[in-house]
A and B are shown apart, each in its own frame.
Chain A
């Protein structure tokens, strides 16, 4: 009866939904990476760590200060933006004139130090974080049972991604960002404070990672390694979408999450490698990425 490829529809739909949830996190994280790389020329390896710190910030707010999920959703991105601003001011600022490699090395160092600190504080076992009561239920869609929180995660991150895309591609502030991505020196010669733009952009990218961390906390185990686990996939997503492409980051994040979900049903053995197979194919046939511009 209701089977596709010999798989019951509820199972398939459930896995695709999980894929969509993962894809939402991939999209938010690769979006931040793309914006940061575009303007600052920094390959921000610590992006996953910032996502982990966002999830822990929500956990700490709840368990140490009794602050609930909805407040965390507002507070954590602000706190993480401040963390990002501090990192940019204290460290990244000094290496812009050097090769990409130095930014990568610096952010790897930051990632490892922070992971060490969190492992020391929280152990590597992991914490669980409850979904808010209002989203703890499920909705019967007929062909599947949808946990409300998963639906919310997908809507919230798609909304955030769309708002970010709109901000960058359709507003005056975004025009500054696009122009400075192309030619920062000329933009600065027009009287725009480009160094400040770099700081705020990094802060914004980190805020996105922090927000993804809060959204993820109720659907995953919050562990010090959750960032490292996801960042490699996110880098693959960025390469597939095209380094620096805003739309590419969003679309390929969602698409690859779905593909992973589908692979889990059809051929589970390949589910953790399928993203990298796609990356290899894209690099072979369209090296600039699906949405990137060939130089």
Chain B
């Protein structure tokens, strides 16, 4: 592998209580790569991201971040290794203003965005800085959810369904945002249902089904195998 390894997951099994959700997932992500995780609703993509963050009930296997085994670490120590998690439900806090939401995650390491950088990338947020977080529009909340993890210096971003339910013009803006993050050397795992959006951005694609990795494709194979992927997505 050309680039150094950012994340290696080996034989990961995850559980919510008694429900066994992930069944032996293997996945690698190189430093600076953008990797898309596609699959139908319920395939286990969100569970995979939560497992990386230590947010599931129980997990077994190996999850190595930047050379450090994290399977026994509590969530806050995993985050401190330089992970930024943008959850599917966005989790904007209603008791915090837009700017308080933005400033909430502590800076974990150097090299992150400054507040000005974030406002430069998402000018809407500057205008809405004093508004209650949950009063922002869906698109603004999504920008806030992404912007606030850029301040921390995290180098590996886990983005869950960021294009979901947003107007096309906002999806285009997010597309530009991901490209610029990639140019700055961020490593990104992009969970998506939107094949077009993901395919345009990703270096590689994993397709999940029933808690397993069903396919692993490079960007240059996508066109030839689009039919196969679409079948997995049930389109």
Contact present for A190 and B53 (CB under 8 Å): no
For residue A178, CB closer than 8 A to chain B, the reply is yes
Does B42 sit at the interface, judged by CB under 8 A? no
- CB B140 to nearest CB in A, in angstroms, measures 18
A interface majority secondary structure: helix
A108 to chain B, nearest CB (A): 28
A105 to chain B minimum Cβ distance, whole angstroms, is: 23
Would you give the 0/1 interface string for B47-81, flagging 1 where the beta carbon is closer than 8 Å to chain A? 00000010100000000000000000011100110
Size band of the interface chain A makes with B: 10 to 19
Contact of A193 among B53, B76, B103 (CB under 8 A): B76
Write out, one digit per residue, whether chain A residues 189-210 have a CB within 8 A of any chain B CB (1) or not (0): 1111111000000000000000
Kindly state the interface size class of chain B when it binds its partner.
20 to 34
Report B147-176 residues with CB < 8 Å from chain A CB. 149, 152
Whether, in the assembled complex, A176 has its beta carbon less than 8 Å from a beta carbon of chain B, the answer is yes
Bound Cα distance A36, B79 (Å): 26
Check if B219 is an interface residue, CB within 8 A of chain A. no
Least Cβ distance of B113 to chain A in Å?
Answer: 15
- Give A213 to B51 CA distance when docked, in angstroms: 45
Residues of A within 8 A of B76 (CB): 188-194
CA distance A179 to B91 in the complex (A): 10
Cα–Cα distance between A250 and B194 once the two chains are bound (Å): 49
Given known A175-B96, A179-B96, A185-B55, contact A190–B74 (CB-CB < 8 A): no
In the complex the two chains form, is B79's CB within 8 Å of A182's CB?
no
Smallest distance from the beta carbon of A100 to chain B beta carbons, Å? 19
Contacting chain A: which of B27-35, B104-112, B180-188, B210-218? B104-112
- Closest residue to A185 on the B side, CB-wise? B55
* Contact, CB under 8 Å: A175 / B75: no
Q: CB distance B103 to A182 under 8 Å?
A: no
| B11: A residues at CB distance < 8 A | none
Closest to B53 in A: A189
Least Cβ distance of A173 to chain B in Å? 11
Query: Does A183 touch B at the CB level, under 8 Å?
Result: yes
A178 to B92, CA, bound (A): 12
| B106 contact set on A, CB distance < 8 A | 190-192
Establish whether residues A175 and B87, one from each chain, have CB atoms under 8 Å apart when the complex forms.
no
A186 within 8 A of B: yes
**A22 within 8 Å of B by Cβ?**
no
Contacts of B85 in A (CB 8 A): 186, 189-190
A252 interface residue per 8 A CB criterion: no
Q: How far is the CA of A192 from the CA of B53 in the complex (A)?
A: 13
Check A181–B95 contact: CB distance below 8 A: yes
Q: B96–A190 contact, CB under 8 A?
A: no
Contact A195 B74 (CB under 8 A): yes
Find out whether the CB atom of A185 lies under 8 angstroms from the CB atom of B96.
no
Most chain B CB inside 10 Å of its own CB: which residue of A176, A181, A185, A190? A190
Residues of A contacting B104 with CB < 8 Å? 175-176, 179, 187, 190
**Shortest beta-carbon contacts, A-B, top 4:** A191-B79, A190-B105, A178-B95, A186-B91
Pick 20 A–B contacts, CB within 8 A, sort by A.
A172-B103, A175-B96, A176-B104, A178-B95, A179-B104, A181-B95, A183-B93, A185-B55, A186-B87, A188-B76, A189-B53, A189-B75, A189-B79, A190-B85, A190-B104, A191-B79, A191-B106, A192-B76, A193-B76, A194-B75
| Known A175-B104, A179-B104; 15 more pairs at CB < 8 Å | A175-B103, A178-B93, A178-B96, A179-B93, A179-B95, A182-B93, A186-B85, A187-B104, A188-B74, A189-B79, A190-B104, A191-B76, A191-B106, A192-B76, A192-B105
